[in-house]
């Protein structure tokens, strides 16, 4: 599979969708510190995928995928806390969590595929 730009990566597309969801979920939240942290962490997922893709090696790309995975874990933790604090409904929590789990699995899979040199990019 040849991918020439990060925008073609499904995991990047899903990460953008997640960031939009997070922004919408918390746009009226008045806990500014919490809101800022979860929004920034959600954007960090897609940004690290993009930055790593345009690095010079698979090793560098994998490092940024690992960072993106860490950001996804941070958002998952904060999503759980947001539910416990009644910032989001159970339905909103589940929707966000399902997306985060899917993105995490995709990041792990992409990282493993780089080990096998299955993904070729320019």
pLDDT in tens, 89-106: 999 999 999 999 999 999
Task: Give alpha helix (H) positions in 5-89.
Answer: 10-26, 32-53, 58-84
* 111, two tokens: 């990282």
Q: pTM for the complete prediction?
A: 0.91
**Residue 74, CA distances (Å) to 3, 26, 77, 118 in order:** 28, 16, 5, 29
pLDDT value at residue 1:
54
Backbone angles phi, psi at 5, to 5 degrees: -150, 150
Spacing of C-alpha 111 from chain mean position: 14
Helical packing angle, 10-26 and 32-53, nearest 10°? 170
Third-level CATH fold of 2-121 = de novo design (two linked rop proteins) (1.20.1440)
Q: At 118, is the pLDDT very low, low, confident or very high (cuts 50, 70, 90)?
A: low
Cα(first)–Cα(last) distance of the chain, in Å? 11
């Amino acid at each position: 599979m040849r991918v020439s730009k990060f925008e073609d990566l499904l995991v990047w597309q899903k990460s953008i969708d997640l960031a939009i969801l997070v922004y919408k979920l918390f746009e009226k939240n008045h806990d500014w510190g919490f809101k800022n942290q979860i929004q920034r962490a959600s954007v960090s997922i897609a940004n690290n995928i993009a930055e790593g893709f345009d690095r010079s090696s698979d090793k560098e790309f994998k490092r940024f995928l690992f960072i993106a995975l860490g950001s996804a874990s941070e958002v998952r933790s904060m999503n759980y806390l947001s539910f416990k604090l009644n910032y989001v409904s159970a339905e909103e929590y589940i929707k966000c969590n399902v997306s985060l789990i899917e993105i995490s699995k995709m990041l792990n899979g992409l990282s493993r595929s780089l080990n096998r040199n299955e993904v070729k990019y320019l």
